[in-house]
Structure 1
Amino acid sequence: MPFPPGLSFLTEVSVSVGEPVEVGPTPEGHRRMVPITGGTVRGPSLNGRVLPGGADYQFLRGPTLTELDARYVLETDDGHRIFVHNTALRHGSARDIELLNSGVAVDPSLIYFRCWPRLTTASPALDWLNTRLTLGTGVRQPGQVVISIFTVD
């Protein structure tokens, strides 16, 4: 009999983003880079901020599907740093994805936005993050992406 894993809420990360840098259509699909300019981290296990300087490297596979590959650093309120490598899929109707990609808010229930944030740290106090699988859901809002992160029990 299958034993499905449970999920425990870890934190919510609100990532502030800048204007996309369009690379344009390549032989593989449309590419663009979205700079990460900061943000906040709030939850029962982690609180702090998103450091500026990261980026989300996007691959628009077609009018309804975007692959996301974001890399950035969190800093907890007590000074520990966590590297985040977040891969995600965002899927919706062609119109809704077009609106999202142009910075317009779209009802989150119309968008499938799931992610696998991998969290790594050198901090002995947070070493447990190095041994946990995390999954998340995302919501794209004007100027930010809000990610709810859960540990897999």
Structure 2
Amino acid sequence: MKILLLTAFFITSSLTFASSDIDNITCALETKRVGGNMSKGKAQQVFQLTIVGENVFRLKSYRGHFFDKGYRATSGGRGSVVELVANGDRGYQIRSRTYLSLDFSELQDDVTTGGYPGAGSPPTRINNYSCMINYPKELSDVTRQEVVYDFNL
């Protein structure tokens, strides 16, 4: 019983983090996968998680066009408040099908939608993002090419 409790404590403590070290976690789209096919979407979409409290972040999404200066917010208002919920080896669960890795380096967003009656099931659609802690630039001031370079996409 002691071993079980110690294991549970160790797992729980390893999934928390020092929020004082993190101001934001910024994730830029690396690849889109539809079924088994990969497509390029390099830095087309960016998620930014800004710290609000311990394990609580404000999530905003941005979209960047290839030649435009600056990203435009696609989430309304101030974004949504989310809690990073530890989910074992998968990392942190942000939304029902969105996961952030334990080291905050990758985010995976399953954007598969429902099919139509008689059409069968739709292909699985998964977007993979490369993430960075404390991205120093304001997203409204950078180009998509700069984000591709900064995130090594």
Smaller-chain TM-score bracket: 0.3 to 0.5
For normalisation by structure 2, the TM-score amounts to 0.40
For the pair shown, the structure with the greater C-alpha radius of gyration is: 2
RCO greater where, 1 or 2, for CA within 8 Å and sep 6 or more?
2
